[in-house]
Structure 1
């Protein structure tokens, strides 16, 4: 039904101005031709029409353009005539759909009435038996000779087709190039068309020699040659798709029996419909009468439509399975469309033959030509679109490999370039699918693609797409260059380059994140402006929202500001050992709002910047420690100091430990005295975070040297009074060592 409505004449729904407005806008150059003064009603009508023009933006602009052209015309030129622009009425979508339905419904009824009138009122012609059989005999001789010639030439090309198929399959199996087999298939199709052209040339020569000077016979043979060209061209397309005789040139993976099945039935179906509508029906209508021709047309198309619908629904499930298997073997991009087509193919095919049946009732010859032409254009469009999409899909899967120097200097550049190229190719593939869809609608007269592209909304759409692509391209280039420079600075020193400091790494990381947010925001705003979105309210709303958020998120703002100042003051960096409040651990992550600290127990703490009042950093410049050792009071202090110095000397002979120590150890001697012992001290200055390693090694050496020298740690002593013994009236006391 859709095809029937499409082929009906188009209806012009432009609304013109009242005649009074046209008369009021025209000026006359001769005084003798002036009209009488218009009446008040005419003036009011003209004024109302002028007001309607000025109220409509399009008509007002058209009138302004005409006035500008009239004012710029040469003085010697004739007096310009102003034509009031057509008044366009803004309609809702529902009103537009109603108007279109009413228009096409009226046209369909008109066509049905015209068909009925032609059949019922057509003049009857007398049947001339001699002329009819004479024409049939000449017609049969031409058809037999032409079909024989065409079959023989096709049979002679059999060895060439087989070699082409074998060569293409061999190249395809070797995976040397995937284009060899499609090239051979297309070449075989071109050869088939050349044979068809030669056969038509041969048939025209036979027709000139067999018509016997009869215009009737020449007319009938001309009908046959036209039908032969159209039908055999369609059969050549079927052979291109199914290729029943040469499996090597078959593009689809179909068994021989399935390929023969569909090629034979579709060829027979197209032949009966084509020769029936293009040859039999015109001859019967011309030699007998229109009633019989219309009856033959209806019988042929009715039978063929019923048979086509039977074939469609009888093989619906098998074809769905074949399409599903084809989707499994295809690329993921094509698999989506193939699976979608597998679900609705039988409805599309049914609509195709029903539309052909209805159109053939109105115009038997032109309907078949239109359907075949639209079919061929659709297949060509789909084939070209699939080829372009396949090439783009293969390019998407490929990766660009940069030189080793570029990969070393810019570690993320190769990945980022490949990602952007992949996005651009996917966008081109989407545009290809969109263009193919519009061209398919245009092939069936459902949409005027060329007018839309050159004069309609397509001009603006193409301009917007070009602008969007250019904006995305420059944004991608800018972000890629800036991010690559930052990442180059952050690269490691595995290739001899100096390692950036932790502060530099942190600041560059924060700057890269801020740069990504800025570029993304600016790009989105520009894109919205290009597609027609007024971004002024967005900017105003963003400002108001930002003000409201600033009042409600003062802590967040404080976190950000404090974090920025700590970073610029180089307070801490990733990897530093710090103490923040009661938490001591290693800095693992620093963002613009918080710092992440990992304790030695494994606990991970996220600390907002604003909550940090003071902190200690153990890796700023140097590390140091003071070692105190307590010994028994009875030990000789000089011997203890000498033993401690010997332990330190032994420690400093270790090259690993010596590389951690800055300068020389400082001995303070005896620094503390108690009732039970005294304390000796030595202090070290070390590399950052090495003080614990040196302290542990020193403790080990000191213990070994003190044990070897017999120096003991201080012991606590207790006094015990013994009762029962009196010496001069006083108790006696004994000093005992305290238990350890």
Structure 2
């Protein structure tokens, strides 16, 4: 505080007749005292923090020591530029550095406050989920935007000092136009960065994290994604490329670069690339038509003719399928012809049950109907069913079995799981109703003779076979 008062009163001393060298010495000595005070204050803060962590028995950290070194470095740097300004009576470098440090310090303080606020919101148990989610989602975006804006402001301030005052690369009379161009270019880059960050955050929130496949499950990864969720990654890529190209072109235009030849060169390069990479163009164009037809979405199980699997990712030129056994297949769109989608709208499962030939069909029909209605009332199964389990009729009459066909219609995601649950309940219900499944026993009838004679003949045959199979004892020599 005393140093600031002395420095502010320096013009008064000079106006009162104090010689310039004496005034320089007074201000220089004051600057030395202020620098020493800054170094001592930083060291005391570091020691206080070190003692506090030792009292809390906290693990040792190198972070405070690094911050102490940074603080001392900038204090010495400020003192050096201040001293140079006093000697040469030119404070341009000092002012630019001081303003840069002020901007950086304010940015750091605001960033820390936002970080603490974000942490506090996350740790409060009873917070409005919607409001807390909004703050936790957009506070990091705001923090990054403030950092980028501060960096651009510091760059403009330092550029004015070094390009005009020190290196004389830009004449002072032209600096106004150059500064306007730099500020406009910086604002353009800043807006482009903020727009891309918002787009990325919004698309990440809408897409969400797709659940990983369970290796022990025969089903798909879960509920198929909506069409918007499927297309958002592609839109994000295209939008990101558009934002990047427009931001770069506008920035170059503001800096005085003629972008006409650049656009023409990019067009020629794109034309040459299209001729040289016909397979790539074919894949991209085919993918556009497949996506426009809504042939598949992320999370759906499809058959491409050669490969089957669940759609995990859709890119600009290829499709990534996950086989139910875990393998990943990457298929270019140009190699796809006909696609069979097993996960769209609904699916009907038909399966056969082999029952005894003397089974009462009406009893079987009523039992299957009761099982189907009971499954429709279960909370876990009810959302899956569109039509209940029922008997479709007799599919076949075999030599030893009566083949009954059953069917049901469900949502396609958990088709085989519903079938397993149906078979489990049918097995239990048939046992309770006395309905027997077909037996695999083969009945052999002889042409004549009594049962006793047939049994005796079978026993004699078994004894004769056992005697032939028994090992022979060695004969003495």
Counterpart CA distance in 2 for 1:547 and 1:648 is 62
What displacement does 1:701 show?
Answer: 1.1
Corresponding position of 1:189: 7
Corresponding position of 1:329: 68
Pick from 136, 140, 149 the counterpart of residue 424 of structure 1. 149
Corresponding position of 2:345: 621
Give the 3 Å change call, closer, same or farther, for CA 645–544 of structure 1 in structure 2: same
Corresponding position of 2:185: 468
Counterpart CA distance in 2 for 1:192 and 1:551 is 73
Give the 3 Å change call, closer, same or farther, for CA 337–523 of structure 1 in structure 2: farther
What displacement does 1:192 show?
Answer: 6.8
Residues 410 and 487 in structure 1, CA contact (< 8 A), matched pair in contact too: no
Residues 644 and 702 in structure 1, CA contact (< 8 A), matched pair in contact too: yes
Residues 349 and 407 in structure 2, CA contact (< 8 A), matched pair in contact too: yes
Residues 574 and 587 in structure 1, CA contact (< 8 A), matched pair in contact too: yes
Measured against aligned partners, the alpha-carbon deviations of 1:72-108 in whole angstroms (never above 9, x if no partner) come to: xxxxxxxxxxxxxxxxxxxxxxxxxxxxxxxxxxxxx
Corresponding position of 1:233: 23
Corresponding position of 1:607: 331
Give the 3 Å change call, closer, same or farther, for CA 698–559 of structure 1 in structure 2: same
Give the 3 Å change call, closer, same or farther, for CA 236–663 of structure 1 in structure 2: same
Corresponding position of 1:458: 175
Give the 3 Å change call, closer, same or farther, for CA 506–638 of structure 1 in structure 2: closer
Pick from 435, 440, 463 the counterpart of residue 715 of structure 1. 440
Of 580-589 and 610-619, deviating more is: 580-589
Give the 3 Å change call, closer, same or farther, for CA 652–713 of structure 1 in structure 2: farther
Aligned-pair Cα RMSD in Å: 4.5
Residues 489 and 500 in structure 1, CA contact (< 8 A), matched pair in contact too: no
| Structure 2 counterparts to residues 373-452 of structure 1, below 5 A | 375=87, 377-378=89-90, 380-397=91-108, 398-399=110-111, 414-437=139-162, 441=166, 452=171
Corresponding position of 1:676: 400
Counterpart CA distance in 2 for 1:630 and 1:250 is 95
Residues 587 and 595 in structure 1, CA contact (< 8 A), matched pair in contact too: yes
**Runs of 5+ consecutive residues of structure 2 not aligned to the other structure:** 43-63, 122-127, 210-222, 459-477
Corresponding position of 1:252: 39
TM score, norm. by length of structure 2: 0.69
Residues 224 and 300 in structure 2, CA contact (< 8 A), matched pair in contact too: no
Corresponding position of 2:61: none
Give the 3 Å change call, closer, same or farther, for CA 733–652 of structure 1 in structure 2: farther
Corresponding position of 2:214: none
Larger relative helix fraction: 1
List, as ranges, runs of 4+ consecutive aligned residues in structure 1 with deviation greater than 6 Å: 336-339, 371-374, 400-407, 480-492, 731-734
| Structure 2 counterparts to residues 292-331 of structure 1, below 5 A | 329=68, 331=70
What displacement does 1:677 show?
Answer: 0.9
What displacement does 1:537 show?
Answer: 3.4
Residues 382 and 436 in structure 1, CA contact (< 8 A), matched pair in contact too: yes
Pick from 532, 535, 542 the counterpart of residue 266 of structure 2. 542
Give the 3 Å change call, closer, same or farther, for CA 588–501 of structure 1 in structure 2: closer
Instruction: Report the number of matched residues.
Output: 405
Residues 651 and 657 in structure 1, CA contact (< 8 A), matched pair in contact too: yes
Give the 3 Å change call, closer, same or farther, for CA 632–501 of structure 1 in structure 2: closer
What displacement does 1:392 show?
Answer: 1.4
**Runs of 5+ consecutive residues of structure 1 not aligned to the other structure:** 1-182, 202-227, 256-324, 349-370, 442-446, 493-498
| Structure 2 counterparts to residues 469-488 of structure 1, below 5 A | 469-472=186-189, 475=192
Residues 200 and 236 in structure 2, CA contact (< 8 A), matched pair in contact too: yes
Residues 670 and 679 in structure 1, CA contact (< 8 A), matched pair in contact too: yes
Of 691-700 and 664-673, deviating more is: 664-673
TM score, norm. by length of structure 1: 0.47
Measured against aligned partners, the alpha-carbon deviations of 1:351-374 in whole angstroms (never above 9, x if no partner) come to: xxxxxxxxxxxxxxxxxxxx9976
Look up the SS of the partner of 2:325 in the other structure. coil
What displacement does 1:189 show?
Answer: 3.4
Corresponding position of 1:505: 229
Mark the structure with the bigger radius of gyration: 1
Pick from 388, 403, 409 the counterpart of residue 685 of structure 1. 409
Residues 368 and 389 in structure 2, CA contact (< 8 A), matched pair in contact too: no
What displacement does 1:193 show?
Answer: 6.8
Residues 510 and 592 in structure 1, CA contact (< 8 A), matched pair in contact too: yes
Counterpart CA distance in 2 for 1:677 and 1:197 is 119
Measured against aligned partners, the alpha-carbon deviations of 1:335-354 in whole angstroms (never above 9, x if no partner) come to: 59979x99xx9xx9xxxxxx
Look up the SS of the partner of 2:353 in the other structure. strand
What displacement does 1:679 show?
Answer: 0.7
What displacement does 1:684 show?
Answer: 0.5
Counterpart CA distance in 1 for 2:341 and 2:104 is 54
Measured against aligned partners, the alpha-carbon deviations of 1:131-160 in whole angstroms (never above 9, x if no partner) come to: xxxxxxxxxxxxxxxxxxxxxxxxxxxxxx
What displacement does 1:612 show?
Answer: 1.6
